[in-house]
Amino acid sequence: MSEFSKNPLNKVVRESKRAQYNKELIYNILDSHFICQIPYVFEETAIVIPTAYGRKGNTILIHGSLKNRMMLSLLNQEKVSLNVTHLDGIVLARSVFHHSVNYRSVNVFGKARLIEEDAEKMEALEIITENIIPGRWNEARIPNQKELDGTLVIAIDIEDASAKVREVEAADDSADYDLDVWAGVLELEVQSGRLVPNSDCKPGLPEPQSAKNFKFSNNPVKQP
Amino acid sequence: MSEFSKNPLNKVVRESKRAQYNKELIYNILDSHFICQIPYVFEETAIVIPTAYGRKGNTILIHGSLKNRMMLSLLNQEKVSLNVTHLDGIVLARSVFHHSVNYRSVNVFGKARLIEEDAEKMEALEIITENIIPGRWNEARIPNQKELDGTLVIAIDIEDASAKVREVEAADDSADYDLDVWAGVLELEVQSGRLVPNSDCKPGLPEPQSAKNFKFSNNPVKQP
């Protein structure tokens, strides 16, 4: 099946013309980022925490410390969800009302389960690390048993998901097209900045290939 | 009072050395972004939706359509929260375990209330627009009565808040400092990309000053 089925939980209600349920698109958006936003409920208040993640097939993997309140609460929930958002541009319309942003946003829903087996935990940590910065796993010292034991790894098998994407130029009411107001899109991009060595970095070590190759996935505005 | 008081809701538990409650810092992080993540509960599942916002004093302002499910649900909650996250860098340690990201993250908590009075709604829309792209309000056609009537504006008065910031180099276990592994930070920055005019943009209009002046607030790694 190439689409996630629609149900009340993942069905996009507002501006549903921007909604997409295609698995390839959803996986692509997920794989183009590495920080997701995970909500949980604490003392009757919904709270969001940003967290690194990776994807293995139809499963999202996250990790944290053994006492991480957000992560532990996920294991007690019937269903959990998370959001991944790329901010791709500011849409400048002729009217303030039609200003918008270009973005790629995914919400996924599923059941959280604890990963306990060492080999499976190690694989999850490799997937998360490689999703943040491909190639880094083989450059650094991999986790030892003590570190593995001190890490909570959670898998979320995706049951439902939806994407919402805006990637086009500004749209105004017809009466406004004659206004002397410039309309278009200011693209926003995540770029690598400086690669700053630690003050205590061992002298003479070359800059890592993973960092030199790193490229964040941006989405330019689609012109008609 | 220059600090938000700590309580079970906003007190940072994990890696509390990174926690800060200073109002000036929290306002500064809020003012440096314009997309927040708001959680709400639907059919017993916590869901997060990204939304534009602005700040007026100790109040966060958001807007949406009259039927926006997330926004309407906020009005029924005793207390709401939201998160704003800047992703500032990837921290490359000698060990995979100590890899991290540099970030500035704020969670705010408060009560949501509907803004109904026209002048107050108009002011809120101006604050949100100007927080996205300063100077744009005076370049575009401002909302008319019909648009104002069709917009839901919600204020969240901040009762509690906390910031969590990581902005330093990598930290490893002492035994790992002798490894031949490069350590440091790959900075990430949000930059303006192209300014792309609409295909139907009126010919001869100059590029707007707001877009030319736009600058996203990035935070370089602090070196010791």
Q: What are the pLDDT digits (tens) for A15-37?
A: 777 888 999 999 999 999 999 99
Residue among A139, A62, A192, A141 at smallest CA distance from B185:
A192
Distance from CA of B86 to the nearest CA of A (A): 10
Interface of B with A in 76-95 (CB under 8 A): 77-83, 85, 87, 89-90, 92-95
The partner residue sitting opposite B177, judged by closest CB among A92, A179, A200, is A200
Q: CA angle at residue A85 from A83 to A91, to 5 degrees?
A: 140
Tokens of B156: 């969240």
Q: How far are the Cα atoms of B23, B56, B99, B155, B161 from residue B158, in angstroms, in the given order? A: 11, 11, 33, 9, 7
Distance from CA of A1 to the nearest CA of B (A): 25
The answer to whether the Cβ–Cβ distance between B141 and A176 falls below 8 Å is yes
Q: How far are the Cα atoms of A87, A106, B189 from residue A199, in angstroms, in the given order? A: 33, 38, 21
Q: Alpha-carbon distance B127 to A20, whole Å?
A: 31
pLDDT band, very low/low/confident/very high, at A1 (cuts 50, 70, 90) = low
Q: What was the pLDDT predicted at A67?
A: 93
Q: How many CB pairs under 8 A join A and B?
A: 321
The answer to whether the Cβ–Cβ distance between A42 and B69 falls below 8 Å is no
B10 close to B4: Cβ distance less than 8 angstroms = yes
A160 close to A10: Cβ distance less than 8 angstroms = yes
Q: What are the pLDDT digits (tens) for B191-213?
A: 999 999 999 999 999 999 999 99
Residue of A nearest to B83 (CA): A48
Q: What was the pLDDT predicted at A210?
A: 98
Q: What are the pLDDT digits (tens) for A113-168?
A: 999 999 999 999 999 999 999 999 999 999 999 999 999 999 999 999 999 999 99
pLDDT tens track, chain B, 224 positions: 688 888 888 888 777 778 889 999 999 999 999 999 999 999 999 999 999 999 999 999 999 999 999 999 999 999 999 999 999 999 999 999 999 999 999 999 999 999 999 999 999 999 999 999 999 999 999 999 999 999 999 999 999 999 999 999 999 999 999 999 999 999 999 999 999 999 999 999 999 999 999 999 999 999 88
The domain B16-87+102-168: what is its CATH number? 2.30.110.10
Residue B40 Cα to chain centre, angstroms: 17
B49 close to B71: Cβ distance less than 8 angstroms = no
Residue among B91, B104, B108 at smallest CA distance from B19:
B104
Q: In sequence order, what DSSP letters do the residues of A153-177 get, joined into one string?
A: EEEEEEEEEEEEEE-B-----GGGT
Q: Alpha-carbon distance B163 to B21, whole Å?
A: 6
B152: β partners: B64
What value does the mean pLDDT of chain B take? 96
Q: Map out the domains of chain A as residue ranges.
A: 16-213
Second-level CATH architecture of A16-213: Roll (2.30)
Interface test with A, best of B29, B45, B94, B139 (most A CBs within 10 A): B45
Q: What was the pLDDT predicted at B1?
A: 61
The answer to whether the Cβ–Cβ distance between A47 and B39 falls below 8 Å is yes
Tokens of A3: 């689409």
The answer to whether the Cβ–Cβ distance between B37 and A142 falls below 8 Å is no
B161: β partners: B108
Q: What are the pLDDT digits (tens) for A167-202?
A: 999 999 999 999 999 999 999 999 999 999 999 999
Q: What was the pLDDT predicted at B19?
A: 85
Residue A125 Cα to chain centre, angstroms: 16
Rg (CA), chain A: 20
Residue of B nearest to A38 (CA): B48
Question: Chain A within 8 Å of B147 (Cβ-Cβ)?
Answer: yes
B161 close to B4: Cβ distance less than 8 angstroms = yes
Place of tokens 């689409």: A3
Q: Alpha-carbon distance B142 to A94, whole Å?
A: 9
Tokens of A45: 């208040």
A95: β partners: B141
Q: What are the pLDDT digits (tens) for B146-187?
A: 999 999 999 999 999 999 999 999 999 999 999 999 999 999
Hey, is B214 helix, strand or coil? coil
